[in-house]
Amino acid sequence: MSTPKDNFSILMNYAASCGVSFEICFGAFEDNKVCNAGICELRDKHFRIITNDKLANASDDMKYAALAHEVGHGLIKLTQSDSEVLKLTMLRELGHPEATHNEIKADQFACMVSKKGMLKLLNSFEGYGNWIELEMRKQAAKDFVE
């Protein structure tokens, strides 16, 4: 049986075959209320994923699920224009369902790496952020067929 780390390596190899590269910086920002990671594009098809210390020290299943979620955002971005990415960022801040759908698409990459880890990660967000979005994401993760 493969581990979350093995599954993450497969995902990274797939991304590389698409011409996409990632660098990961653990502990790069200080907000440690919840396990957290973010992604930014440094240049065409090259992304940086940053995490806080809480995620850097999380269990492997949570850590690799969170990283896979961010890789998912990078791969999804390949199919979106810059204006679509900006629009979804703004809609997410407003709690709009279209942005939640985009998060769920990225969550599917995380579930491929570790469904258990993704559910643990989502459960760790209880009490933070948009409750409705969180419940929709949890249900989608539970429904994900491995």
What is the rounded average pLDDT for all residues in the chain? 89
In single-letter form, the type of residue at position 130 comes to: N
pLDDT at 27: 87
pLDDT band with cut points at 50, 70 and 90 for residue 130: confident
Sheet hosting strand 37-43, strand order edge to edge: 21-29, 46-52, 37-43
Could you tell me the pTM of the whole model? 0.90
In whole angstroms, what is the distance from residue 36 CA to residue 38 CA? 7
The tokens for 81 are 């224009």
User: Tokens 């992604």 sit at which residue?
Assistant: 39
29 compared with 103, residue with greater pLDDT: 103
Burial of 104 from C-beta contacts in 10 A (0-12 / 13-18 / 19+): middle
- pLDDT surpasses 80 at 124: yes
Q: Which domain holds residue 24?
A: 4-143
Number of domains in the chain: 1
For 68-113, the pLDDT digits (tens) are 999 999 998 888 777 887 787 787 777 777 778 889 999 999 999 9
Strand spans (E) along the chain: 21-29, 37-43, 46-52
